[in-house]
């Protein structure tokens, strides 16, 4: 419990803060005269919207109605109301202080109840509702958060007279929009409700008690469609421990038409008791009989398909394993390389004897050759006198003149040889220099040739690009006219720097790229272009068709309407805020911004209940969905895919009054057509529009 920021309200002493709501704070208080603890629910009138006195009056009236409604009731399963009072700017309700938790807290923590406890809880809830209905009070907001369980296990219903939507997809500041999983069909349709609406909501709570799941989930439009048109799975399908007798009880309590439901909470409670008695008499679970074998001790054996005879597919049986062939198979497999054996003796049949014969023959040839050489050197006498070579024979000595001449001739020969070597070197250098010069001249000629060829090629390419750009620019206007008029499409045609025209965007499933190409080629024969488009749901074709001519007009403005996503690529993930930047046209205009979903609904982003002033000055800017801006904000949820956002600018408001936050797209488009026709007739500046696809994906 938090420390309170005030010390007293009326006669009550404030001891702490229990929690905060949308309009105020709930405190733990004490009546000093009778020593009784109370819960003080407050609302600060000065914190409500000062510029909307009607909304302020409505919120105060609803707060008083809660005190009046619950104050008329005295039932052990309804939280008692002691007093309504005002202390300065703070209005408060003093009510019974409950030590315990609400059912939503149990569900959030995945805590479950057995069937006997569920029947007791629902019996107390229905008893309290039956009492309230007989006293002319319809709760209109039965849900787990408004059903308390005390620490002793007693049931207490809270918050009479307050109707509020819960959201898991588009969450708005101040008023929450999204997942009203406990609301009756007549509440969604805005019809008059009676006690049978509470019976539907109680049936939804019973469904969650039995299964642990809400009966209807998804985005606001998804839940609305399912509540109005489809039944949830039977509880026994989601939880095999739920007796089948409860399926009929839940189905009747949540019937679409009020006349098909239980006509009173007492009838609902009686049917629940009968189903509980049938449960005690039922045999073993039918689900267990269908899905498994019931054992003697009551346990259920579940057999998965193939579990009894499956074995790993990669294992080889003994019969399928490859075998190594033996001698009978014709081949023997050795485990290692063959051992290299030494030479065998001749008697062993090896090659050792052959090698010995070869060596003996070679030795004999060498001996014969030596003998012949010795005979040639020594002569036939066998070496009686040695033979002296001429170079070793004694020569007569030279005279001094002869020695000098020999020296002179030797030096002249050396000089001649040196001169010849120098001449050869110089000749070789001259040849190399001439070859290098010739190669350089050839390289220069080739470089000039290559440069001239490259320049000619560059000029040719530049001329070709210029011609291509000119042709693309000539064709771009016609292509843009074609793609803007293509049915069920949101396309853009742009020319790149190389002159290529690219058509990008999205088209409905009934309009293929082949059809788009046929339209372009019939309007601009011979045009060069590429097409890169995505496919969107045909359900978005009608809103695209409705603003087709308005988009043409917008593109021709010097300062058109612009709608920009804050996320790159206009991709938003689950539970992420949807934030958009909007820029008005070049004239003062009223902006109508609509979100068309894949389920056939439209959510009006601007204007809305918190931001009614939707006029921008010429070229004005506005950010939608920023939680820090104090206006509405939204978060992304299921279903995921490509959805459409449209912004229409008009000199006068299109509609005389604020439209509901969400409605069927078909009905809205019919009224939008009429409004646009009237705006075009009565205004000097006709309306213009732009559109944007966003992609929503799981987190």
Residues annotated as part of the active site: 141
Query: Tokens for 450?
Result: 């290559």
CB contact at 8 A, 257 and 191 = no
Query: Could you give the CA distance from residue 148 to residue 104 in angstroms, rounded to a whole number?
Result: 9
Q: What letter does residue 620 receive in the DSSP assignment? A: -
List of E strands, 139-189: 147-150, 155-157
Token readout for 697 is 């994906």
In whole angstroms, give the CA distance from residue 185 to residue 196: 11
Q: In this structure, are residues 412 and 405 in contact, taking their beta carbons and an 8 Å threshold?
A: no
CA distance 166 to 113: 24
Per-residue DSSP letter, 276:
H
Contact yes or no for 651/587 (Cβ under 8 A): yes
Task: Compute the distance between CA of residue 137 and CA of residue 226 in angstroms, rounded to an integer.
Answer: 27
Give the residue from 101, 89, 104 showing the smallest Cα distance to 6: 89
The b/e string for 660-683 (b: 16+ C-beta within 10 A; e otherwise) is ebbeebeebbeebeebbeebeeee
DSSP characters for 646-678? EEEEESS-SSSSPPPSEEEHHHHHHHHHHHHHH
Which DSSP string do the residues of 341-362 spell out, in sequence order?
--PPPGGGTSSHHHHHHHHHHH
Tell me how far apart the alpha carbons of residues 317 and 305 are, in angstroms, rounded to a whole number.
23
Alpha carbon distance 173, 610 (integer Å): 8
> Which of 691, 670, 642 lies closest to 539 in space, CA to CA?
642
Round to whole Å and give the CA distance between 215 and 205: 9
In this structure, are residues 248 and 275 in contact, taking their beta carbons and an 8 Å threshold?
yes
* Cα–Cα nearest to 568, from 698, 691, 694: 694
- Ramachandran angles phi, psi of 193, nearest 5°: -115, 155
| CB-count burial class (<10 Å; 0-12, 13-18, 19+) for 270 | middle
Cβ 564 vs Cβ 645: under 8 Å: no
Structure tokens at 577: 């805020």
Q: In what order do the strands lie in the sheet with 100-102?
A: 100-102, 147-150, 155-157
List the structure tokens of 493.
């045609």
Q: How far apart are CA 439 and CA 419, in angstroms?
A: 30
Do the beta carbons of residue 68 and residue 58 sit within 8 Å?
no
């Amino acid at each position: 419990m938090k420390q309170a920021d005030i010390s007293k309200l009326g006669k009550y002493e404030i001891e702490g803060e229990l929690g905060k709501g949308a309009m105020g704070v709930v405190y733990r208080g004490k009546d000093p005269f009778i020593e009784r603890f109370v819960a003080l629910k407050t609302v600060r009138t000065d914190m409500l919207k000062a510029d909307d006195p009607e909304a302020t009056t409505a919120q105060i009236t609803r707060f008083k109605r809660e005190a009046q409604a619950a104050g008329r009731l005295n039932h052990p399963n309804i939280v008692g109301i002691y007093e309504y009072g005002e202390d300065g700017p703070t209005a408060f309700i003093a009510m019974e202080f409950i030590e315990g938790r609400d059912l939503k807290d149990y569900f959030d923590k995945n805590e479950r109840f057995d069937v006997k406890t569920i029947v007791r809880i629902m019996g107390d809830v229905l008893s309290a509702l039956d009492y309230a209905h007989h006293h002319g009070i319809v709760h209109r907001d039965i849900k787990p958060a408004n059903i308390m369980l005390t620490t002793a296990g007693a049931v207490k219903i809270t918050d009479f007279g307050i109707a509020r939507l819960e959201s898991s997809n588009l969450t708005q500041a101040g008023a929450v929009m999204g997942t009203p999983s406990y609301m009756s069909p007549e509440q969604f349709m805005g019809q008059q409700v009676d006690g049978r609406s509470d019976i539907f909501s109680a049936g939804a709570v019973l469904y969650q008690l039995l299964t642990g799941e809400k009966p209807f989930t998804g985005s606001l439009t998804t839940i609305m469609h399912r509540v109005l048109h489809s039944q949830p799975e039977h509880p026994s399908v989601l939880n095999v421990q739920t007796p089948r007798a409860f399926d009929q009880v839940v189905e009747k309590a949540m019937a679409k038409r009020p006349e098909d439901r239980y006509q009173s909470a007492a009838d609902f409670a009686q049917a629940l008791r009968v189903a509980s008695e049938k449960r005690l008499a039922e045999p073993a679970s039918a689900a267990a009989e269908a899905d498994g074998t019931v054992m003697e001790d009551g346990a259920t054996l579940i057999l998965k398909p193939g579990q009894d005879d499956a074995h790993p597919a990669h294992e080889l049986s003994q019969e399928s394993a490859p075998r190594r062939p033996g001698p009978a198979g014709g081949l023997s497999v050795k485990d290692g390389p063959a051992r290299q054996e030494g030479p065998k003796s001749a008697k062993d049949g090896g090659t050792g004897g052959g090698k010995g014969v070869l060596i003996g023959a070679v030795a004999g040839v060498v001996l014969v050759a030596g003998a012949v050489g010795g005979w040639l050197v020594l002569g036939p006498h066998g070496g009686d006198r040695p033979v002296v070579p001429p170079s070793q024979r004694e020569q007569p000595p030279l005279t001094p003149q002869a020695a000098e001449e020999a020296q002179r001739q030797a030096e002249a020969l050396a000089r001649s040889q040196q001169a010849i070597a120098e001449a050869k070197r110089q000749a070789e250098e001259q040849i190399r220099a001439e070859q290098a010069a010739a190669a350089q001249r050839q390289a220069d000629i080739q470089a000039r040739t290559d440069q001239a060829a490259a320049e000619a090629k560059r000029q040719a390419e530049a001329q070709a690009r210029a011609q291509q750009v000119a042709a693309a620019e000539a064709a771009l206007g016609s292509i843009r006219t074609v793609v803007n008029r293509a049915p069920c499409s949101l396309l853009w045609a742009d020319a790149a720097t190389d002159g290529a025209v690219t058509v990008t965007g999205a088209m409905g499933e009934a309009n293929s790229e082949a059809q788009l190409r046929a339209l372009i080629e019939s309007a601009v024969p011979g045009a060069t272009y590429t097409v890169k488009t995505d496919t969107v749901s045909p359900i978005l074709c009608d809103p695209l068709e409705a603003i087709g001519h308005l988009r043409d007009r917008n593109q021709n403005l010097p300062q058109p309407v612009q709608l920009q996503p804050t996320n790159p690529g206009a991709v938003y993930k689950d539970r992420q805020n949807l934030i958009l930047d909007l820029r008005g046209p070049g004239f003062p205009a009223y902006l109508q911004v609509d979100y068309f979903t894949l389920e056939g609904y439209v959510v009006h982003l601007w204007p809305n209940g918190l931001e009614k002033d939707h006029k921008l000055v010429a070229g004005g800017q506005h950010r939608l969905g920023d939680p820090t801006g104090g206006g509405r904000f939204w978060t992304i949820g299921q279903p995921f895919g490509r959805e459409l956002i449209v912004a229409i600018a008009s000199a006068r408001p299109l509609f005389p009054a604020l439209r509901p936050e969400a409605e069927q797209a078909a009905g809205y488009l019919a009224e939008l057509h009429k409004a646009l026709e009237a705006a075009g007739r009565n205004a000097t500046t006709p309306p213009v529009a732009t559109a944007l696809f966003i992609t929503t994906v799981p987190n």
